[in-house]
Amino acid sequence: MDAPQSLTGEPGIDWDGEEASAFIEIPVSSSSEMFQVMMEFARKQSADRMKVLFVALDGRNPFRRFKNTVIELGIDEEWFDFERMYARNIMT
């Protein structure tokens, strides 16, 4: 993490210097992008599960409701694998 020296007690990173080459940029996904990933995951489920997941994604707090729903359905490991695969694909 690069923060001002007044906060960390360490000198900041010289992004134009040699030390900058030791760092790589980690891609960041927007909430709208991750919402689409959850929708894609839901579409790959059985019809019954898909309906339940779509209900979770519709309305307030869709991220929390989706997470709770995949846990209730017992497909949380499947979701985590799907999410990891998505992250791996955008990083390569």
Token pair 């992004």: residue = 15
pLDDT, tens digit (0-9, with 9 covering 90-100), for 7-43:
888 887 777 878 777 877 777 889 999 999 999 999 9
Q: Residue 45: what pLDDT?
A: 98
Furthest C-alpha separation in the chain: 55
Which pTM value belongs to this model? 0.74
At 65-83, the pLDDT tens digits run 999 999 999 999 999 999 9
- Structure confidence at residue 5 as a pLDDT band (50, 70, 90): confident
What rounded mean pLDDT belongs to the chain?
Answer: 91
pLDDT-based confidence at residue 90 (cuts at 50, 70, 90) = confident
pLDDT the model gives residue 1: 59
Q: How far apart are CA 39 and CA 44, in angstroms?
A: 9
